[in-house]
Structure formats: structure tokens, C-alpha cells
Structure 1
Amino acid sequence: MRTMFRVWLAMLAMVCAFSATSSRAAELPTIRVGVLQFGTVSWELEAMQRAGLDTRAGIRLQVVPLALKDAANVAMLGSAVDVIVNDWIWVARQRAEGRDFTFVPYSLAVGGIMVRPDAGITGFADLRGKRLGIAGGPLDKSWLLLRAYARRTVGEDAATWLKPDFVAPPLLNELMFKGELPAGLNFWHYAARLQAAGMVPLLSMEEILATLDVKAELPLVGWVFREQWAASNPALIRGFLQASAETKRLLRESDEAWLALRASMKVDDDATFVALREGYRAGIPAATMGEAEAVARKVFDILAAEGGAALVGNARTLATGTFWTERADR
């Protein structure tokens, strides 16, 4: 009887502790983060919540799943979410149109060109006359940088001597697996899946940027939010960025934390799982905000020259405030 009473007391203590924790989380200020439902950003946010790093930072994370990248932009423009992930080119264009969006680096991870091992392609020039699958559309940043790279190395615009085929990222991978595309320029996590399946890296974005005299760390995507909202909610945005940094540290150092994410990553084999894990880790930014902004200014000029107004809109330079000035010294 006494033993049963002790068990009952222990269970009661656990229930009370859980209730107190749940009550505290419910009382915390909420930040709404819009993410693609099956995107890699969702892995970080899942890890954040699993480890309780959001509540530890004094916030409650509300993940708002979105079906498409355009839906994220619409949600942000309509203030249906507080934060999304996008690139600083989009932010610069929005600022040139009078909106106060700002950017904090999230990841360096970008894709590269992968080729089928039976395609007979061993160098960039071997792509002449061949189809190259490109994730996204003609204004995809990686494609524009590749065109600039081609001008520098081959002396011609790549769009004139290879056959660009713009397709959705999952379809690009599927076409390569079927042998219908000999090569593809895809986002990093799709490229990681290709490599794990036996496709061969031909040209990385790091190599492309180095040829364009960009040899420092370049974060292309980051957390995007409104400057005025951040000024009105300083503890909320700082808490979120702190939780994001702590989550990155956890995922960089702990293999066990990744095991809990495996189901969400939708991988069928260990090789793909490891490739995605290591790709994420390699993309964790280390540069200061000021250093990242200086590199982005240089790359903005390259992208603007290739993509023109269709890409950057009214922006002529990287607008002041594109990178969040609150963190310019970090």
C-alpha cells in the first residue's frame, strides 16, 4: 500500500511538472514562422522544439506550414507570419519598393551541378549542346551565377551553348535518375540525394563563386522579417535568433539529435541521411553580419548584371538595412 502511494505521488509530481511547463510555454510570447512544409528549415525548427530551445529562450515557436515558396512570400507580405526564410536579393528588392524587410543569415548551403556517371561529362565545357536541368526558373540565383561563371571561363553566356531546362527540384532529380537528364543544377539537399545515389559532382557553387573572385563566406538565404516588427518585439526576435543559433550548435555537434529528425527527412538509406546531415552542417554560417553583407554587396552586382530589373526590380545596389543592422557587429 505504501509503495502504491509513493508511485501515485511520483505520478502526481510528473503531471504537475508537465502542467507547469505547458502553462509557462502557453504564457510565452509567440513567434509565427512560415516554412515550406517539407523543406529543410522545418528540420531545424523541429529540433528546436524537441530540445525546448524556444521556451528556454523565452518564446513560443508556432510553425506555419506552407505549400510553396510563393505562399511564404504572400504570407509575409500579408503579415500572416512574422518570419520566413528567403534570400537577400528578395529583401533588397522589397526595400527598394519601400517595404522594411530585413535579413539575418540562416545558411550557406547552396547546390551545384551534378552529372550522371554515364553521361561522359568530366568538365564544364563538356556540357556544350547538352541539356542541363535547372531548379526554378530563368532568374534562379545559381543559374545566373553559372552564366557569369561561363562568361569568365568560356567567354560565352551559358544560355547560348547549353540547353537549359527549367524544372521543379523533385522532377529534376527524377529525370536524372531515369537518365532523361545528363546533368542538373539543383538546391543543396536535392544535390545531396543525387550524390548519395551515385551521381557525380561536376561544379560546386563555391568553385563558381571563387572564379568570380568571391572567396569569402556567402549566405544566400536567411531569416526575413519586418524591421518595424523587430523594433516593436525586440525580445521576441532576439529570443528566436538565439534559439536558432543554439539549435544549429546542437545539430552541428550531436548525431543523436539528427536521429530524431530522420522520419521528417524522408530518407530511405543511411547514405542519403548522412549526406543531408553533413550538408546542413557545412552550411552553418560563421562570418559576422558585417562580413556577410560586404560579400553580398559584391554578389548583388553580379546578379543584377545577369538578371536585370526582372530580378532586382528598382534596386541598383544592396539597400542599407537589407542585412539587419541590429546585428551588424556580430
Structure 2
Amino acid sequence: MSQSVRALTGLIALLALSGATRAEKTIDVGLQAGGTLSWVTFAIQRYGIDKQLGFTLNATTYASKDATRVALRSGAAQVVVDDFIEVTLLRQKNFPVSAVYPFSLLAGGIVVPQSSDIRAVADLKGKTLGATSLTDKTLLILRAYTKATAGFDVQDASKVVSVSSPLMEQFMNRGEIQAGIPFWHHTARMVAGGTFRQLISSGDLLKGLGLPQTVPLLYLIARTDTDPTTLGLFVKAVRLAEDRMKADDSFWPAMLDANLYVLPDRGQLPALRTQWAAGLPTHWTTADLNATLLLTRKMIAVAGPDVVGLTRLDTRAFNTSYQP
């Protein structure tokens, strides 16, 4: 073979390699430190699901939820997890994003000490209740529930104080609050320890308001300029990873060893795992979107648009076409 033919052959091979590199499907995912999306992306990469589906997952961890929102707005991240209120707010500010698939249902609930005389939601009247913030979604749902079923707004008839989720156990042990609304994973751990019990679940609060118990709270929120084929593959990878996580006992210690969650008492891992699985969505339809719309209306009716953060939910911010 002549030198010129060899050179031409090498050039063709180089161009082919370059074209293949450009054609490679990649997606940039923003993770909140300590968030459960990091568990799922860890599983996707651990099992090689992204490679099996023909794309590359690039995951970047950010220190806070606000940081992931900045990353999404700037384009540094193409996909993050956030709630149904935030996606509407982003759209109202003309950011090109949409909620493409539910990531987690409204989970957790109201927790009280095992020995508490609080036996029903109506017993919260006059008590001190801890919540992570006055805009906490479960607190807003509880307000609508007590107004509809017990004749009072728990925000007015009780004392609601701001307490970080990890500290609620200590505050209840000291008697500074009589009930709390921790994050779902702290709820699972507190109840598993035997010292606390769940007064009512978020699902039962929803049921009491005439809504399905499977209303999504968190969504995969993607920039609308993300390649739709790659985005669809990522959504599928999430579902496949969740199925593997549910079945694989070895995954959970590995996830903890990777420092993706701090669990001092690993004896509580089964409870954490069970509660996580209970919060996984199994479908994404217009009925789910309508339930979210009705829930938002109930929250606005009881708390007002200033507390909820918007006057109405923009259903155009949601895309039900991505079905894994």
C-alpha cells in the first residue's frame, strides 16, 4: 500500500472516530448532595445500565437544592429533581424546562412519640408541631386536611415551629414539640427505632382530601433543549435502576459505603429501603397531573398563593409523553 493510500485510510478512520464521538449520546444530571437521585445514578452506573441503553450518564453533585436549580437554569445540568411547584415557577420566569416523569410520591407523614396521647389528627389542636418550613408540602396538606375533617386550620389552632428534619427526634424527646413532620427517610428511621409512631401518613392525608394516595411530589425536570431520545433513555434507565435496587440486597450497603447517605444504625436500613420503595411512582398519566392540579388548588385555598408560591399550577410545564 502506498504512503498516500495509508494516509488517506488513516484520515478516513480518524474522521469516522470523530463522527462517532460527536454522535455519542450523553446526558448531564445535577444531583443534590444527600438526595436520592444520587442513589439511582449510582445504581445506573454500578449496573452499567446507561451503557446497555447506549448513552453516557454524567452526574455532578451540588451542595444544595438551590445550586442544582442554578445548574439547570444555566445549562450546566440538563436534568435535576425538584417539586411540582418549582417547575411552574421556572416556566413563569421563562426558563426552558418541563417535568418529564415523576420521581417520588408524597411520602412520610406526621410522627409522634410512641407514648403520646395524640391519637388522631384532631388531637394536634393546641399542640406544638415541628415542620421543616411553613411551606412544607405535607404541612400544607395537613392544614387542608384538618380544615376539611376537624374544623380547624392546624396553622392557627396549633403552634407550628420550624425544626430541621434531623433534629425533630431530639426536640420531641425534650418535649419542645409534641409532633413533627420529618422528611420521609427520617420518618422511617424514627419509627423503626420503636420510640416513635406515625400518626398519619401523607397518603392518608391525601385520601382524606378525596385525592389519590399516589400524587407525585418530586419530578425529573429537564431542559427542553435536551435531546429527546437521550432523555427518554435516561428516564428508562431510572426505572430499570429502581427495579434492580428493589431486588438487590447488596446494593444498599454499597450505596452507604459510597457515602451517599449517612445511616449510623445500619439496623434501620430495611425500614429505609421499604419506605423508599413505597414512594416510587408506577405510572405517569394525565390523571396523575390532574390530581397534582387539584392538590395545588387545595393548598392555595387554605394557605394562600404567597405561602404556596404561585396562584395556579401551569399544566403546560408537565410532559406526559416520556413513558419508560
CA–CA distance in 1 between the matches of 2:173 and 2:69? Answer: 31
CA–CA distance in 1 between the matches of 2:138 and 2:300? Answer: 13
Gaps of at least 5 residues in structure 1 are 1-23
| Alignment partner, residue 19 of structure 1 | none
CA positional deviation for 1:50: 0.7
CA–CA distance in 2 between the matches of 1:61 and 1:181? Answer: 43
Pick closer, same or farther for the CA change 1:287–1:70 going to 2, 3 Å.
same
| Alignment partner, residue 256 of structure 2 | 262
| Alignment partner, residue 287 of structure 1 | 283
Gaps of at least 5 residues in structure 2 are 1-19
Local SS of the residue matching 1:255: coil
Q: How does 1:1-330 map to 2 (within 5 A)?
A: 28-103=24-99, 104-135=101-132, 137-198=133-194, 199-227=196-224, 229-230=225-226, 233-263=227-257, 264=259, 265-311=261-307, 313=309, 315-316=311-312, 318-327=313-322
State whether residues 106 and 214 of structure 2, in contact with CA within 8 Å, keep that contact through their aligned partners in structure 1: no
State whether residues 105 and 215 of structure 2, in contact with CA within 8 Å, keep that contact through their aligned partners in structure 1: yes
State whether residues 203 and 214 of structure 2, in contact with CA within 8 Å, keep that contact through their aligned partners in structure 1: no
Local SS of the residue matching 1:35: strand
CA positional deviation for 1:109: 4.7
CA positional deviation for 1:193: 1.3
CA–CA distance in 1 between the matches of 2:239 and 2:136? Answer: 28
TM-score, normalising length: structure 2: 0.85
State whether residues 92 and 315 of structure 1, in contact with CA within 8 Å, keep that contact through their aligned partners in structure 2: no
State whether residues 293 and 315 of structure 2, in contact with CA within 8 Å, keep that contact through their aligned partners in structure 1: no
Give the superposed CA RMSD.
2.3
State whether residues 219 and 285 of structure 1, in contact with CA within 8 Å, keep that contact through their aligned partners in structure 2: yes
CA–CA distance in 2 between the matches of 1:179 and 1:25? Answer: 61
Letter in 1 for 2:61: P
- Identity over aligned pairs, percent: 33
Letter in 1 for 2:183: F
Report the count of equivalent residues: 301
State whether residues 98 and 221 of structure 2, in contact with CA within 8 Å, keep that contact through their aligned partners in structure 1: yes
State whether residues 80 and 222 of structure 2, in contact with CA within 8 Å, keep that contact through their aligned partners in structure 1: yes
CA positional deviation for 1:25: 10
CA–CA distance in 2 between the matches of 1:53 and 1:160? Answer: 50
State whether residues 109 and 279 of structure 1, in contact with CA within 8 Å, keep that contact through their aligned partners in structure 2: no
Letter in 1 for 2:72: M
CA positional deviation for 1:223: 0.5
Letter in 2 for 1:170: P
